[in-house]
C-alpha cells in the first residue's frame, strides 16, 4: 500500500494539533543508506539508480516516504555527511538526472522522497569554507574562527581557543595556517561548523532548500539541526575562551570538555527554525520535516513540533538509544526494560496535547536493534525477537521509521578485527580511547565497537543469497565498500518476501494496520505495569475503542503482570486479536494461561 491509497485521518481525530491533519500522521518512513542499498555499476558502492530499481519492493512493503542519507557531492570523509556542494550529486551515487528520475519514479508509485539536510556543518572542501580562509573575503564569518589562546604558539597543543573535544575524538579545534586561526568542528576536522549567527549563511541555506523543493523533493530530515545555535557571552565569546563570561564544563577522561551543553538547543534555536519555516515552507504543501535533535528534552519536543510555533513537524530524540551504556557508548550494558518504558512514556506524554513523536529503534548511526535488544543467536530467536521489537515500537503513537534491512531482521556485522571497520567515529574512538588516552583496553573497545559501532547498520542490504547478497553482481570486479554479513545466505529479501511468516511479512501487517486504523496512528497512549522487567504493555484508545499491546521482550516464558492480566481476565477470543507475532490461536492460548512465550507480542481489542 502506498500513500495514493492510504486512508486520510478524519479531522475528528486529533493528531498534532493542526487542522486538517497532516498527511504524515499515519505514514511510515523508510530510511535508505544509499552507499549500502544497491550497486548497479559494479564499483562496490550503492547508487541512485539502485534505489530506483528497488522502488517496487518498497511500495510492496507499504511505506510512504523514503528518506535518503546524503547523496550530495562530498569527499566522503564521513560517508557523505561532509558536503562540498549542496546542489550537485556525488559521482559515487550518480547524477542530478538520476536523482530527477528517482523522484519521478517514486512519485508514480505514491512514494515521497525526503533528502538528508546537513547544515550544521559543511565539508572543509566546500567553496564557502575555502573562501572563509581569507579574513577579507565576504565568507570570512561563515564559520566559527578563533585565534590561538594568548601567549601560546598557534598550531601547538594547548593553543586551542578552549578545551572542547570533538564527538569523533580529539580536539574540536583545527588550526588553519592559511588564515592563522582555528576553526570549530563538533564532528570530523573536515566538517567545520557553519556560523548560523550570520544572516548570509542562513539565506544561502534557505535558497538551497527551496531549490531542492522546487526540483520535486518532499521534505528534509535535518542532521543535528539542534546544534546550530551556539551559546556565547554578550561579547560573542564561546565558553572557556580567554575572557569569556561563561565558564567551560569539566574535562573528561579523554582530556577534553564537551561542547554539547553549549551547542545543543542554543538560545536562538527556535528563532532559526521558525525563520526556516517561513523562508522555505510557507505556501507549500505535501512536505515533511524531521529534525535530528541531540540535547532536546521531551518538553522541548512538544514546543518545537507544536504547529502553532511554526518550526518542525517532528524530531528524533535519543535518550532511549543512549541510556544502555556505562558512561560511553563503547561500554554497553544489557537492556533495562523499566527504564526504556519510562523514557518512551516521557516521549508519548509530552506530545499528548500538541506536537508529534518520531518512532525509531535503528538508523545509520545505531546498531541493529535485533542484535541490541533482541536475540540473534539462533534464527528462530532472531525472527521472534525482531517481530516483538517491531510490534512494540509500531504500536506507539507517532510516525514510525524503518531503517533498511530492519524489515528483514538484519543483524549486527559481528566483525572481530579493527581493519574490518570503515566508520570514522569507531576508528577515531579506538585511537583516542585505547592508543592515546588509555582509558579502555583494546579487547573491551573492540567489544564495544562490535556491539554499538555504526558500521553494524551499514553493511550491504541483503537482497538474496548470492556472493554479495545481491547488493552487486556475484562476479563484480570490485568487492563492496564494506563486507557483506555472512548470514545473508539465510537472511535476505528474496527468502523473506516468499515466506508469509517472515519478519518482512509482519512489517507489512504493521504498516497496513497504521494506515487503516486511526487508533494506531492517533489514539491516546497509556503505559501499564511500568516496573515489570520483561513485559512491555500499554493501552491505546480512541472514540471508545481500546487496544492493548502486550509484548514479552525476553527469551523466557513469563507470567502476565497484574494490571495486564486484569485487562484480559474475562477471556480473549481469536476475533479479539488484532495482530500477533505468532498467531491469533496461539495468542488466545497464551493469554488463557496468563503468560507469554519468549518474544511473543499481541495486540488485543478490549
Alpha-carbon torsion, ordered 281, 282, 287, 289, to 10 deg = 50
Kindly state the helix (H) or strand (E) to which residue 520 belongs, with its residue range. helix 518-522
Helices (H), 328-378: 337-350, 369-372
**What 3-state class would DSSP assign to 29?**
strand
Half-sphere exposure of 547 (CA within 13 A, CB side): 28
Cα 483 from Cα 469, distance rounded (Å) = 10
The grid coordinates of residue 89 equal 550529486
Cα–Cα distance, 593 to 588 (Å, whole number):
9
Of the residues 39, 90, 124, 292, only one is catalytic, namely: 292
**DSSP element (H, E) containing 52:** helix 48-53
Determine the Cα–Cα distance for residues 477 and 471; give it in Å rounded to an integer.
13
At residue 579, φ and ψ (nearest 5 deg) are -160, 145
Catalytic residue among 64, 223, 365, 532: 223
CA atoms of 96 and 517, how far apart (whole Å):
38
292 is catalytic: yes
C-alpha cell at 341: 518504558
342's grid cell: 519510562
- Using alpha carbons, list the distances in angstroms from residue 338 to 257, 343, 559: 31, 9, 16
The owner of cell 582509558 is 439
125 catalytically annotated: no
Sequence-distant (6+) residues with CB within 8 A of 191 are: 77, 78, 81, 82, 121, 122, 123, 124, 185
Report residue 81 as a C-alpha cell: 555527511
So which residues are the catalytic ones?
223, 292
Amino acid at each position: 500500500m502506498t500513500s495514493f491509497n492510504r486512508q486520510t485521518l478524519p479531522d475528528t481525530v486529533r493528531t498534532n494539533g493542526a487542522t486538517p491533519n497532516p498527511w504524515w500522521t499515519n505514514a511510515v518512513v523508510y530510511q535508505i543508506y544509499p552507499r549500502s542499498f544497491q550497486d548497479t555499476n559494479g564499483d562496490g558502492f550503492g547508487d541512485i539508480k539502485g534505489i530506483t530499481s528497488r522502488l517496487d519492493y518498497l511500495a510492496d512493503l507499504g511505506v510512504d516516504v523514503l528518506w535518503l542519507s546524503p547523496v550530495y557531492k562530498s569527499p566522503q570523509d564521513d560517508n557523505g555527511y561532509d558536503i562540498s556542494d549542496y546542489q550537485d550529486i556525488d559521482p559515487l551515487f550518480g547524477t542530478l538526472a538520476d536523482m530527477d528520475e528517482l523522484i519521478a519514479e517514486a512519485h508514480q508509485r505514491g512514494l515521497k522522497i525526503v533528502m538528508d539536510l546537513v547544515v550544521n556543518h559543511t565539508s572543509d572542501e566546500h567553496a564557502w569554507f575555502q573562501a572563509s580562509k581569507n579574513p577579507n573575503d565576504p565568507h570570512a564569518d561563515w564559520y566559527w574562527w578563533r585565534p590561538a589562546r594568548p601567549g601560546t604558539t598557534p598550531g601547538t597543543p594547548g593553543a586551542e581557543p578552549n578545551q572542547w573535544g570533538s564527538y569523533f575524538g580529539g580536539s574540536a579545534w583545527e588550526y588553519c595556517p592559511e588564515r592563522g586561526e582555528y576553526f570549530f568542528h563538533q564532528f570530523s576536522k573536515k566538517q567545520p561548523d557553519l556560523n548560523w549567527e550570520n544572516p548570509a549563511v542562513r539565506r544561502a541555506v534557505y535558497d538551497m532548500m527551496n531549490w531542492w523543493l522546487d526540483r520535486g523533493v518532499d521534505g528534509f530530515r535535518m542532521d543535528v539541526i539542534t546544534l546550530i545555535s551556539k551559546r556565547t557571552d554578550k561579547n560573542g565569546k564561546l565558553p572557556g575562551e580567554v575572557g569569556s563570561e561563561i565558564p567551560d564544563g569539566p574535562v573528561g577522561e579523554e582530556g577534553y570538555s564537551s561542547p554539547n551543553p553549549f551547542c545543543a538547543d542554543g538560545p536562538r534555536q527556535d528563532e532559526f527554525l521558525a525563520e526556516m519555516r517561513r523562508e522555505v515552507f510557507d505556501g507549500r504543501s505535501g512536505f515533511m520535516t524531521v529534525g535530528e535533535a541531540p540535547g532536546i528534552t521531551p518538553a522541548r519536543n512538544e514546543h518545537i513540533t507544536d504547529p502553532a510555533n511554526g518550526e518542525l513537524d517532528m524530531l528524533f530524540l535519543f535518550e532511549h538509544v543512549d541510556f544502555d551504556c556505562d558512561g560511553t557508548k563503547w561500554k554497553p550494558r544489557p537492556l533495562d526494560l523499566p527504564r526504556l518504558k519510562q523514557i518512551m512514556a516521557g516521549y508519548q506524554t509530552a506530545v499528548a496535547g500538541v506536537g508529534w513523536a518520531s518512532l525509531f529503534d535503528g538508523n545509520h548511526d545505531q546498531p541493529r536493534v535485533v542484535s541490541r535488544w533482541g536475540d540473534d543467536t539462533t534464527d528462530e530467536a532472531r525472527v521472534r525477537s525482531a517481530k516483538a521489537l517491531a510490534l512494540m515500537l509500531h504500536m506507539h503513537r507517532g510516525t514510525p521509521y524503518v531503517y533498511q534491512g530492519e524489515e528483514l531482521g538484519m543483524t549486527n556485522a559481528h566483525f572481530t578485527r579493527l581493519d574490518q571497520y570503515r566508520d570514522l567515529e569507531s576508528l577515531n574512538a579506538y585511537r583516542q580511547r585505547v592508543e592515546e588516552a588509555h582509558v579502555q583496553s583494546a579487547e573491551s573497545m573492540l567489544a564495544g565497537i562490535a556491539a554499538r559501532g555504526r558500521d553494524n547498520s551499514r553493511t550491504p542490504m541483503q537482497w538474496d543469497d548470492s556472493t554479495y547478497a545481491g547488493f552487486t553482481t556475484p562476479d563484480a570486479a570490485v568487492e563492496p565498500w564494506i563486507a557483506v554479513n555472512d548470514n545473508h545466505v539465510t537472511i535476505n529479501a528474496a527468502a523473506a518476501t516468499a515466506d508469509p511468516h517472515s519478519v518482512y511479512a509482519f512489517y507489512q501487517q504493521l504498516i497496513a494496520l497504521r494506515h487503516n486504523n486511526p487508533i494506531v496512528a492517533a489514539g491516546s497512549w497509556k503505559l501499564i505495569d511500568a516496573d515489570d522487567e520483561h513485559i512491555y504493555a500499554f493501552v491505546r484508545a480512541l472514540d471508545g475503542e481500546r487496544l492493548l499491546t502486550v509484548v514479552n521482550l525476553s527469551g523466557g516464558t513469563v507470567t502476565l503482570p497484574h494490571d495486564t492480566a486484569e485487562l484480559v481476565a474475562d477471556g480473549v477470543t481469536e476475533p479479539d486479536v488484532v495482530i500477533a507475532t505468532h498467531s491469533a490461536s496461539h495468542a488466545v492460548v497464551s493469554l488463557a494461561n496468563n503468560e507469554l512465550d519468549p518474544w511473543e507480542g499481541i495486540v488485543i481489542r478490549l
